Amino acid sequence: MPTLGELGLHQPALFALAVLVLNATPGVDLLYTVSRTLAGGWRQGLAAALGVGAGCVVHALLAAFGLAALLAVSAWAFTVLKWAGAAYLVWLGLGMLRQAARPAPAVAATEAPMVARTGMQVFCQGLFTNVLNPKVALFFLAFLPQFIVPQAPHKTLSFLLLGTWFVLQGTLFLVAVVWLTQRLHRAVGGSARLGRWLNAAGGLLFLGLALRLSRAEVHA
C-alpha cells in the first residue's frame, strides 16, 4: 500500500486540523445547516449537511481538473458566478424574511423558514448554496496545494484524495452539528416566536452575505 508521501500528500495531521477549524468557522454552510435543523428537525438538517457536502464534491472536482483556476484568472467567469451566487442568497434570505413576517400561528417552530419542504428540496438548496459561491472554488484551489508535495507525480490524483478527505470530514462535522443543534433545541424547547426570530435573523444574514459576495474581487 502506498504511503501518503508516495501519493503526493504531506502534513496530514495539520490538514485535518485546518479543515476542522475551517468547518467550525461561521459561514453560509454552517448557518444553512443549523437553520434547517432548527426549522425542520434532524431530517432536514441532515439533508442540508449532505447537500453542502455534495457541493464540496463539485468544487473538489473543479479544483482537481483545473476549472477552478479559470475563476482565479478570468474576471468574467468569476463575475458571472459571483452574481449568480449573490442572487441565490438574496432569494433564500427573502424567503426567510417572508416566513418571519407571517402571523405567529402560521409559523410553527418546526416550519421550514424557506420554500423548501421536502428533504430533496433542502438537499438541492444546500448544494446550490455551496456551488454558487466562487470563493469556495478559489479556496479549494488555494488551500489544497499547500498539502501536496511539489514533486508529486500525479497532482490530479493528489487533489482528488485531499478533496475527498475534505468532503468526508466536513460532512461528518455538519452531521455532528445537526445532532448537537437538535439536542439543544429540544432541551430549551421551541416556540413560534423563536421560529420567527430565527427566520428574520437568518434572512438578514443571508442578505448580508449576498452583499459581501457581490463585492468580492477575483483576487479575494
Cell of 205: 444574514
CB 52 within 8 A of CB 129: yes
Q: Cβ-count burial of 200 within 10 angstroms (0-12 exposed, 13-18 middle, 19+ buried)?
A: middle
The C-alpha atoms of residue 106 and residue 36 are separated, in whole angstroms, by 17
The C-alpha atoms of residue 93 and residue 203 are separated, in whole angstroms, by 4
Cell of 14: 495539520
pLDDT in tens, the chain (220 residues): 555 555 667 788 888 888 887 788 777 888 889 888 888 888 999 999 999 999 999 988 887 787 556 655 666 766 776 677 677 668 777 877 887 776 654 444 334 444 456 889 999 999 998 888 777 777 777 677 777 776 767 777 888 888 999 999 999 999 999 999 888 877 665 555 656 666 677 677 767 767 766 665 544 4
Q: What's the per-residue H, E or C state across 90-128?
A: HHHHHHHHHHHHCCHHHCCCCCCCCCCCCHHHHHHHHHH
Distances in whole angstroms, Cα of residue 177 to Cα of each of 29, 35, 123, 171, 216: 11, 11, 16, 10, 28
The C-alpha atoms of residue 15 and residue 11 are separated, in whole angstroms, by 6
